[in-house]
């Protein structure tokens, strides 16, 4: 009896230490997940979301493509060093711009609209809203303004002090890659197969340059023939838009059915062998791929697609953000402060 009473305080101390350790770990995990939140600007810039939306609404009046272009900027930003606004930085003495990386050069667009958003925000609440958060807010507004879902954008990202051109060249999925390679690039940033298919659905609006898919029209994989997965009448249409001797900079609709509306027709197009990019059609035409059943679900159920897309956008927006005292809030999205 005596020995058990003398052991009791020691046991209590051990248990207490153990529980404190567990609580610390839980707080650490919760804290890391809670760094971004939907109320981040509620006190400092409560109109941030409506300001972003207003500028995009205005831009859409003269450029129906701008929504797709803006969501692409967010995507290409997040896949390189996380969602840190690095894609927006111009070349400087210390920075090799991601704009000049192969997936972005002569291709990414909408930077002027981002600048207009930043100017409007700086006029309303100077030094508060980051360029990285502008991209996240712009992506949501672009989708919802063109018929797609809305979601609660998590905020609190800060802007990078540098860019990673080499990372942009290696990390951003390209239209020419196999489904295996693209899946690996999504996995590398913590996104799964459902995220891959859902986010590919952003190709329900916007355009692509002929140079990104012309090999499918004439000489697919060095065969001297078109991609056999291309619908024959769709092939003829695309060959008219993109002649073999053309410049490669003509554009075709990513969704030939409803090119400027955010809906689930993209997935029906894949079922009909009308995916524009190789990377699109592979989601449905790669034998035995786990993506096929997801394409079928999204094609038959737009609500399921919208719900998955919204969640996958939140997941993508959570990739390695700079928070707290890391990075800065750029006053001009094209350059780091003081440069």
Per-residue b or e along 271-294, where b marks 16 or more CB atoms closer than 10 Å to that residue's CB:
eebbbbbbbbbbbbbbeebebbeb
Whether residue 147 is annotated as binding a ligand: the answer is: no
* Radius of gyration of the CA atoms of the chain, in A: 23
Check if the beta carbon of residue 203 is closer than 8 Å to that of residue 255.
Answer: yes
Give me the catalytic one of 76, 118, 158, 334.
76
Whether residue 268 is annotated as binding a ligand: the answer is: no
Strands (DSSP E) found in 221-323: 251-253
Structure tokens at 77: 């930003």
Q: Is 74 a catalytic residue?
A: no
Whether residue 177 is annotated as binding a ligand: the answer is: no
Whether residue 258 is annotated as binding a ligand: the answer is: yes
Whether residue 86 is annotated as binding a ligand: the answer is: yes
Is 339 exposed, middle or buried, given 0-12, 13-18 or 19+ CB atoms closer than 10 A? Answer: middle
Whether residue 74 is annotated as binding a ligand: the answer is: no
Q: What is the DSSP string of 103-152?
A: TTTTT---HHHHHHHHHHHHHHSTTTS-HHHHHHHHHHHHHHHTT-----
Whether residue 224 is annotated as binding a ligand: the answer is: no
In 3D, which of 137, 10, 132 has the Cα closest to residue 81?
132
Whether residue 203 is annotated as binding a ligand: the answer is: yes
Whether residue 187 is annotated as binding a ligand: the answer is: no
- Cα dist. 284→271, 277, 309 in Å? 7, 12, 18
Whether residue 227 is annotated as binding a ligand: the answer is: no
Going by the annotation, the residues of the binding site for Ca(2+) are 77, 80, 82, 84, 86, 98, 204, 255, 258, 263
Going by the annotation, the residues of the binding site are 77, 80, 82, 84, 86, 98, 173, 203-204, 255, 258, 263
Going by the annotation, the residues of the binding site for heme b are 203
Catalytic residues: 76
Going by the annotation, the residues of the binding site for substrate are 173
């Amino acid at each position: 009896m005596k020995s058990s009473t003398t052991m009791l305080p020691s046991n209590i101390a051990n248990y207490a230490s153990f529980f404190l350790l567990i609580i610390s770990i839980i707080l650490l995990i919760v804290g890391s997940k809670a760094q971004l939140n939907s109320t981040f600007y509620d006190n400092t810039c409560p109109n941030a979301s409506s300001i972003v939306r207003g500028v995009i609404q205005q831009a859409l009046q003269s450029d129906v493509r701008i929504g797709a272009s803006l969501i692409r900027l967010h995507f290409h930003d997040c896949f390189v060093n996380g969602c840190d606004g690095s894609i927006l930085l111009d070349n400087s003495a210390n920075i090799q711009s991601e704009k000049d990386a192969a997936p972005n050069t002569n291709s990414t667009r909408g930077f002027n609209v981002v600048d207009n958003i930043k100017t409007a925000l700086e006029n309303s609440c100077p030094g508060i809203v980051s360029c990285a958060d502008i991209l996240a807010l712009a992506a949501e507004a672009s989708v919802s303004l063109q018929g797609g879902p809305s979601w609660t954008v998590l905020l609190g990202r800060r802007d990078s002090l540098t860019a990673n051109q080499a990372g942009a060249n290696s990390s951003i999925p390209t239209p020419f890659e196999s489904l295996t390679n693209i899946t690996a690039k999504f996995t590398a940033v913590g996104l799964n197969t459902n995220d891959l298919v859902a986010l590919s659905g952003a190709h329900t609006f916007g355009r692509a340059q002929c140079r990104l898919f012309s090999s499918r029209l004439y000489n697919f994989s060095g065969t001297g023939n078109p991609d056999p997965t291309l619908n024959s009448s769709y092939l003829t249409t695309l060959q008219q838009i993109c002649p073999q001797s053309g410049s490669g900079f003509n554009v075709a609709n990513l969704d030939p059915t409803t090119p400027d509306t955010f809906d689930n027709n993209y997935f029906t197009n894949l079922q009909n062998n009308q995916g524009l990019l190789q990377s699109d059609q592979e989601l449905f035409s790669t034998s035995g791929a786990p993506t096929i059943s997801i394409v079928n679900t999204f094609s038959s159920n737009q609500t399921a697609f919208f719900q998955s897309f919204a969640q996958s956008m939140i997941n993508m927006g959570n990739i390695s953000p700079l928070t707290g005292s890391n990075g800065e809030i750029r006053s001009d999205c094209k350059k780091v402060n003081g440069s």
